[in-house]
Structure 1
Amino acid sequence: MDPVTQGAFGAVFAQTQGRSKDLAKAAVIGAIAGMAPDLDVLIRSDSDPLLALEFHRHFSHSLLFIPIGGLLCSLLLYPLLGKRWGLSFLQTYLWCVIGFGTHGLLDGCTSYGTQLLWPLSDHRFAWDIISIIDPLVSIPVLALIILAARRKARKYVYFALAWLAMYFGLSYTLHERAIEAGYQQAALRGHTPITMEAKPSFANIVVWKVIYQTEKDYYVDAVKVSFAEPVYWQGDSIPKLDLDRDFPWLDKQSQQAKDIERFRWFSGGYISQDKHKPDRVIDIRYSLLPQEINPLWGIDLTRDAAADKHIEYFTERGDSREAIGKLWKMIQATKPE
């Protein structure tokens, strides 16, 4: 999730503990600790662009790292804030642990993938029920955190938690409806999907990107779900990556070949050769519009590269303003245009 939402989660859950008169202090310490795991973005390499991808949402997001991460935060925040505010180290540590602990679980609710059980497993958990930015999560919670702190009343904290429970429950329900709609769309094509995933589009839980795979291809569609009939936007398909077919010139022992497998792991296997740039491998899970196969990131290979040379990593954003306008029309739509 975005840093604001991560901080808000750390703050509101920290506010459940301690004295009511300290709700503002709990919010500040919980918010800082709630954002701290994303300091893993500092782990990067000039020569290996995939290192940053491997270590983002890695050990710092693991459930097993929470007590350590909370301790590191409290060792910093106690002398800076806790001691000055007359708090005990134990109280500071408790708020730090709570704030730090919310981070990985919240990230697990998105589609990006979070290693919650590292070092026991390198599985990237992605429950796909919330967008990485969703104002209906962050804004109400922030408002109630501030009210709780200003009025020294914990009832606003409980209001925030009730809102989150309701919103995430609704999102889970719509996610399941999007999955069901995806199977219906696949059946119309005569397909029996091997896997089926639904991911919320940007900043909402109404329009979903549905991805399924057959033996040879990936199919992408968009669907608007509610408690009425779903609305579909048929998307596109793309062949699964086949190294022998797509990159016959690639040395399978080269660093570039190893980097493709690292990128495959990062992308949950959802990778393909770019239709327009044949030396490019793309992550098809993300696009500005949910029915498109128009990647936001991927890797570029170089045919004459040395055996030990890494791939190049690219990101593309396109015309985000135009895409948001189209997405807003999809959210409002009662039928596809």
Structure 2
Amino acid sequence: MDSLTQIVLGAAVGEIVGGKRLGNKAPLWGAVAGTIPDLDILFAPHGAIAYHIQHRGFSHSILFAILMAPLLGAIFSWLYRKRHRDFKLWTSLFFWGIFTHPLLDAFTTWGTSLFLPFSRYRVAFKTIFVIDPIYTVPFLICIAVLLFFKRQDPRRRRWAWAGVSISSAYLALTVFLKIQANRITTKALREQGITYTSYMTTLTPLNSLLWAGVAKTEKGYYTGYFSLLDREKKINFHFRPNGLDKLPKSLLENQSFRELPFITEGFYTVTESGDEWQVQDLRFGQLNGWEDPNSPYVMTMDILKKDGSYIFERGSNSIENPKERLLALFDRIF
């Protein structure tokens, strides 16, 4: 999830774990703990492939939380030794502050490597978009309110638990909506006679109602957008070739290129332009695919050939007329 959401979640966890003892220090350091896993971007390598592998890597694993919590617990127990010398309390605060970060990230499209270094498998339930105001805003309000109460006031914990409960209830709702999206997608594929090897459903920005269904075949992908509020659950699928048959053998055998199935979970296409190629990660959808099936994809990589070597760079697609795009998005949802 986005940084603000992780800060809010960490603050709530900090308050629940240590609010009675630490006062406002608890949500403060809880917020810091909730930010720690994303500090991996400060050490992210320049190359696109290495970046995608490292981000949400070991710093988002269960083992990282287990190792970091007692270390930070010892440090903060010493820093606050005059009034709050409590190794167990600080360790608990940092463990839950750090661990809940990747736990929430596991519900996003990117997912998280919870089991590193024992397994590279990324847990990605794909039920919530990385920025979702319905999840974050009520949670933020609850945390802001509790800061106005004194340390021993029981209303602090009530507001913290209210924020956690509301956000968790919404997260549970997104799981239910995901199940419905899967059902609608598979039914539409079956009714239209589309044969596929695997499929996925993924969200459009800022909501949990407008979905994209993507079906994988040997030659490419069928993609269609639909809202769970549509009266007629009819999906217009558009085919996009994967482009792999047009790539040079040297690129197909390139070690970085061979990481793409892992990074994208096997859902990617490649388009060619001379000695340059662009990889589209289908998991994150298009900027406005519900209007134009040929619109740019949100997450891309550029492959350049220089001096006989292939260079992978992170792509960037700017959104033109963002206000109009946002209005069009919500118009399609409802």
Paired position in structure 2 for 1:5: 5
**TM-score scaled by length of structure 1:** 0.86
Instruction: Count residues with an aligned counterpart.
Output: 323
Paired position in structure 2 for 1:198: 201
Q: Deviations over 1:47-82 (max 9, x none)?
A: x332222110000001121122324544565566x4
Paired position in structure 1 for 2:58: 59
Paired position in structure 2 for 1:335: none
Contact between 1:223 and 1:230, CA under 8 Å: does it hold in 2? no
Label 1:72 to 1:274 Cα distance change in 2 as closer, same or farther (>3 A).
farther
Paired position in structure 1 for 2:297: 295
Task: Quote the Cα distance in structure 2 between the aligned partners of 1:250 and 1:149.
Answer: 59
- After TM superposition, what 4+ stretches of structure 1 lie above 6 angstroms from structure 2? 275-278
Paired position in structure 2 for 1:143: 141
Compute the displacement of 1:115 (Å).
0.7
Compute the displacement of 1:135 (Å).
1.0
Alignment of 1:106-125 (within 5 A): 106-125=104-123
Q: Quick check: 1:88 aligned with 2:90? A: no
Label 1:40 to 1:72 Cα distance change in 2 as closer, same or farther (>3 A).
farther
Unpaired stretches in structure 1, ≥5 consecutive residues:
333-337
Paired position in structure 2 for 1:127: 125
Paired position in structure 2 for 1:306: 308
Contact between 1:224 and 1:230, CA under 8 Å: does it hold in 2? no
**TM-score scaled by length of structure 2:** 0.87
Alignment of 1:275-294 (within 5 A): 279-286=277-284, 287-291=286-290, 292=293, 294=296
Paired position in structure 2 for 1:273: 270
Contact between 1:33 and 1:73, CA under 8 Å: does it hold in 2? no
Task: Quote the Cα distance in structure 1 between the aligned partners of 2:205 and 2:85.
Answer: 40
- Residue in structure 2 matching 1:237, options 232, 236, 239: 239
Q: Quick check: 1:213 aligned with 2:211? A: no
Sequence identity percentage? 24
Paired position in structure 1 for 2:20: 20
Contact between 2:128 and 2:208, CA under 8 Å: does it hold in 1? yes
Paired position in structure 2 for 1:45: 45
Contact between 2:9 and 2:34, CA under 8 Å: does it hold in 1? yes
Label 1:137 to 1:73 Cα distance change in 2 as closer, same or farther (>3 A).
farther
Alignment of 1:95-110 (within 5 A): 95-110=93-108
Q: Deviations over 1:146-174 (max 9, x none)?
A: 22332232111222222123211211111
Question: Counterpart amino acid of 1:174?
Answer: L
Label 1:305 to 1:322 Cα distance change in 2 as closer, same or farther (>3 A).
farther
Label 1:252 to 1:236 Cα distance change in 2 as closer, same or farther (>3 A).
closer
Question: Counterpart amino acid of 2:136?
Answer: S
Label 1:115 to 1:241 Cα distance change in 2 as closer, same or farther (>3 A).
farther
Q: Quick check: 1:262 aligned with 2:262? A: no
Counting strand residues as a fraction of each chain, which structure ranks higher?
2
Question: Counterpart amino acid of 2:121?
Answer: H
Unpaired stretches in structure 2, ≥5 consecutive residues:
none
Deviates more, 1:3-12 or 1:213-222: 213-222
Contact between 1:246 and 1:273, CA under 8 Å: does it hold in 2? no
Alignment of 1:177-196 (within 5 A): 177-196=180-199
Label 1:177 to 1:230 Cα distance change in 2 as closer, same or farther (>3 A).
farther
Q: Deviations over 1:8-33 (max 9, x none)?
A: 11121232223536453221111110
Label 1:75 to 1:21 Cα distance change in 2 as closer, same or farther (>3 A).
closer
- SS of 2:200's partner is strand
- SS of 1:17's partner is helix
Paired position in structure 1 for 2:318: 317
Compute the displacement of 1:235 (Å).
4.8
Question: Counterpart amino acid of 2:297?
Answer: P
Question: Counterpart amino acid of 2:324?
Answer: E
- SS of 1:127's partner is coil
Q: Deviations over 1:126-149 (max 9, x none)?
A: 101111001111111111122233
Q: Deviations over 1:241-273 (max 9, x none)?
A: 42xx221363555xxx22212233211111112
Question: Counterpart amino acid of 2:259?
Answer: R
Q: Quick check: 1:171 aligned with 2:174? A: yes
Paired position in structure 1 for 2:330: 328
Contact between 1:144 and 1:157, CA under 8 Å: does it hold in 2? yes
Question: Counterpart amino acid of 1:7?
Answer: I
Task: Quote the Cα distance in structure 2 between the aligned partners of 1:32 and 1:248.
Answer: 47
Label 1:73 to 1:315 Cα distance change in 2 as closer, same or farther (>3 A).
farther
Task: Quote the Cα distance in structure 2 between the aligned partners of 1:25 and 1:205.
Answer: 34
- SS of 1:311's partner is strand
Label 1:223 to 1:83 Cα distance change in 2 as closer, same or farther (>3 A).
farther
Q: Give the superposed CA RMSD.
A: 2.5
